C-alpha cells in the first residue's frame, strides 16, 4: 500500500486538508505530498508552514502524478473541481473527498471519471470551528470515525488503500452506502448545526436582550451552541443545499418531538420530561464510553491558568 500511495495530493488546505497533510507527513503515509489551492494567500501559508513538498494553484499540475487525490473543498464545488482535474489523473489513481454529504457528491463526481480511476468518498467525522491552513493539526483524526461510502462496483483494492490511509491517520473506518450516510449525518450533525445557527440567531435578534448581555451571560449550553454556529458558513450552506431531503426528513421528526416536549411543559407533565432527559443523558454517557468525547468537567475546557478543566 505504501508504494501505491507514493504521492498524495490534497486539494484545499483548510482545517481538514492541512490536518491531512500534517498527519500524512507525521505518520509517514506518503513519500511526496502535493498541496493544491487556488488562493494565493493560502499557498503562501502552506509554503511557510512546509505542509507539502510542492504547492501549486494548478489542479492539472497538482494531481498529474498523484496516486491518491483528496478533495477538501466545499461539497457544492466538488463536481466542478472533479470535472476539471479528472482528465489529468493518471491511470489507477484514486480520487476521494472529505465532504459531509455523500449522495450528491457521488452523483456530481462519477460522470467525470475515467474507467481506470476509482472514486472512494470519505467523511472524517472530526473538526473544529476554525478554518485555514494554520488551524490544522496532525492528531485531528485520532480515534475519530471516518466513514467511507464507495459507490457500488468500486474496486476493493481502492477501498482498501483509502481505508489504510485513514487508519494511518488514526481514524476508525466504517463503510456504508452514500444514502445511509446522509440520513445518519442529517440527525447527528446537520440538524444540530442548523439548530445551533438558529438559536444563536434568535438570541441575536431578541429586542429585549442586548447583544452585550447575550455575550456576557452566556451559560454553558448557549456557549456550546455558539461554538457550533461559528463553523464555516460556505461549507454549511452547501451541506444543507445538497442534503436537503434527509435534513428535511429529520427536521420533520424533530418538530414532532419538539411539539410533544412543548405539550409536556405546558401541561406540567414532569414524568414525560424526566423520561426524556434520562434517555438523552444515557446517549451522552454512551458517547463518552466510546471515547468520542471527554468525561471531564466543562467538556475538558482548560482553566485560565491552563491546569485543567472546571466551571
Kindly state the cell numbers that stand for 54.
510542492
Q: What's the pLDDT at 189?
A: 86
Q: How does pLDDT run across 246-265, given as a tens digit for each residue? A: 999 999 999 999 999 999 99
- Cβ neighbour number for residue 221 with a 10 Å cutoff: 8
> Residue 45 above 90 pLDDT?
yes
Q: How confident is the model at residue 308 (pLDDT cuts 50, 70, 90)?
A: very low
CA distance 221 to 94: 42
Q: How far is residue 128 CA from its own chain's centroid?
A: 9
Kindly state the cell numbers that stand for 63.
494531481
Q: How far is residue 103 CA from its own chain's centroid?
A: 15
Lowest mean pLDDT, pick from 15-29, 82-96, 196-210, 283-297:
283-297
DSSP conformational letter for 215:
H
CA distance 269 to 267: 6
Taking residues 285-306, report their average pLDDT: 56
Exposure of 141 in the CB half-sphere (CA atoms within 13 A): 30
Which residue bears the cell 464545488? 77
Lowest mean pLDDT, pick from 69-83, 173-187, 227-241:
227-241
Structural domains of the chain ordered from first start: 7-177 (3.40.50.720), 180-295 (1.10.3660.10)
Which residue bears the cell 455523500? 102
Question: Beta 118-119 vs 94-97: how paired, if at all?
Answer: parallel
Q: How does pLDDT run across 90-145, given as a tens digit for each residue? A: 999 999 999 999 999 999 999 999 999 999 999 999 987 788 999 999 999 999 99
Whether the CA torsion 10, 14, 18, 20 is positive or negative: it is: negative
Asked if residues 264 and 272 have their Cβ atoms less than 8 Å apart, the reply is: yes
Amino acid at each position: 500500500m505504501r508504494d501505491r500511495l507514493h504521492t498524495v495530493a490534497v486539494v484545499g488546505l483548510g482545517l481538514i486538508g492541512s490536518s491531512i497533510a500534517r498527519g500524512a507527513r507525521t505518520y509517514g503515509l506518503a513519500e511526496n505530498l502535493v498541496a493544491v489551492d487556488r488562493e494565493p494567500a493560502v499557498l503562501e501559508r502552506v509554503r511557510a508552514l512546509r505542509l507539502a513538498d510542492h504547492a501549486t494553484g494548478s489542479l492539472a499540475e497538482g494531481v498529474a502524478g498523484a496516486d491518491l487525490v483528496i478533495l477538501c473543498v466545499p461539497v457544492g464545488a466538488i463536481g466542478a473541481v472533479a470535472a476539471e482535474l479528472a482528465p489529468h489523473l493518471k491511470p489507477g489513481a484514486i480520487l476521494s473527498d472529505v465532504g459531509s454529504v455523500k449522495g450528491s457528491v457521488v452523483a456530481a463526481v462519477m460522470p467525470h471519471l475515467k474507467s481506470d480511476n476509482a472514486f472512494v468518498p470519505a467523511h472524517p467525522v472530526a473538526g473544529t470551528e476554525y478554518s485555514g491552513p494554520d488551524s490544522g493539526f496532525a492528531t485531528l483524526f485520532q480515534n475519530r470515525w471516518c466513514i467511507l461510502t464507495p459507490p457500488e462496483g468500486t474496486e476493493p483494492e481502492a477501498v482498501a488503500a483509502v481505508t489504510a490511509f485513514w487508519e494511518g491517520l488514526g481514524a476508525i473506518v466504517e463503510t456504508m452506502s452514500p444514502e445511509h450516510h446522509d440520513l445518519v449525518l442529517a440527525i447527528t450533525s446537520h440538524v444540530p448545526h442548523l439548530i445551533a445557527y438558529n438559536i444563536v440567531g434568535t438570541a441575536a435578534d431578541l429586542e429585549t436582550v442586548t447583544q452585550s448581555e447575550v455575550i456576557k451571560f452566556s451559560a454553558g449550553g448557549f456557549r456550546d451552541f455558539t461554538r457550533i454556529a461559528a463553523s464555516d458558513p460556505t461549507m454549511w450552506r452547501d451541506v444543507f443545499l445538497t442534503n436537503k431531503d434527509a435534513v428535511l426528513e429529520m427536521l420533520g421528526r424533530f418538530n414532532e418531538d419538539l411539539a410533544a416536549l412543548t405539550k409536556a411543559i405546558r401541561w406540567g407533565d414532569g414524568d414525560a420530561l424526566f423520561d426524556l432527559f434520562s434517555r438523552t443523558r444515557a446517549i451522552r454517557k454512551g458517547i463518552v464510553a466510546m471515547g468520542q468525547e471527554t468525561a471531564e468537567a466543562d467538556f475538558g475546557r482548560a482553566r485560565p491558568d491552563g491546569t485543567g478543566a472546571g466551571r
